[in-house]
Every structure is written in structure tokens, then in C-alpha cells.
Amino acid sequence: MVYENDDLACLLDIAPLNEGHLLILPKKHFHDLDELDEHTAMSVMSVSALLSKVLKEVFQPDGITILQNGGKFNDLGHYHMHVFPRYETDGFAWVEPTGAANHSGRLEETKVRIASCLNAKP
């Protein structure tokens, strides 16, 4: 455990992408981001900013990555956010979609679909 408050526990990832790879876990059970109550969501974001500052000071990285994996990609079965230092040479990469998976030609249609759903929400 590297940090703890009433709402969250923060610990080192057991399979770090880089030294200092941290996980932020709510003490109350949630599975996905959209299940978080507003208080917990704000606490997660506040602590992610604090930990980012600490990682920058301790490791002097080229940047910080903050991410979470939801649905079937949530390998813990409990909501958690990753915060870890990044370096230009670390090999961690965002892979751009190609071929049929590349939906850049459908941006207007995608915008309409999302906006329609948002407008239907109370």
C-alpha cells in the first residue's frame, strides 16, 4: 500500500509496465467506471493527480499514463485505475486501427448516434 484514504487504496501493480506503476482501487465495490458514485469518481481523479505529481518527482518520466480497463478487460473484477510513468523508449504503444476497424470515415454518423443517445437521457 502506497497511499490510502477513507475511499481508496493505492498500491503497486504486481506486473508493472514501468517502475512506479500504481493502481487506485475504491474501497467500496464497483466493477466499471459508469457504476462509480460521484464522490468516489471525484476521489479517484483527485488521487490520480496527486500520484501523477509524485511519480513525476520520483522518476522524472517523459510522461504519465492514466487508464482503466472496463467490461471483460477488467481483470480484477473490481474497478481500478492505472497510473504509471512513461518513457519514450519503454515500448508501450497505442496501436491505431487499420482496415475495417478504422472508423475515421464515419465520424459524422458516429456523432449523430452518440448525440441521439445523450439527448434521450434524463
Q: What's the average pLDDT block by block, 10 residues per block, for the chain (122 residues)?
A: 96 95 97 97 98 97 96 95 96 77 76 88 72
- Inside any domain, residue 97: no
- Inside any domain, residue 49: yes
- Inside any domain, residue 106: no
Helix (H, G, I), strand (E, B) or coil at 71: helix
Nearest-angstrom CA–CA distance, 85 and 21: 7
- Inside any domain, residue 102: no
- Inside any domain, residue 118: no
Confidence at residue 101, expressed as pLDDT on a 0 to 100 scale: 64
- How many structural domains comprise the chain? 1
Confidence at residue 114, expressed as pLDDT on a 0 to 100 scale: 86
Confidence at residue 102, expressed as pLDDT on a 0 to 100 scale: 64
> Domain range holding 30?
3-90
Return the CATH number at 70: 3.30.428.10
- Inside any domain, residue 121: no
Confidence at residue 76, expressed as pLDDT on a 0 to 100 scale: 94
- Inside any domain, residue 113: no
Q: Which residues fall within 8 angstroms of residue 102, CB to CB, at 6 or more apart?
A: 96
Evaluate if pTM is beyond 0.95.
Answer: no
- Inside any domain, residue 65: yes
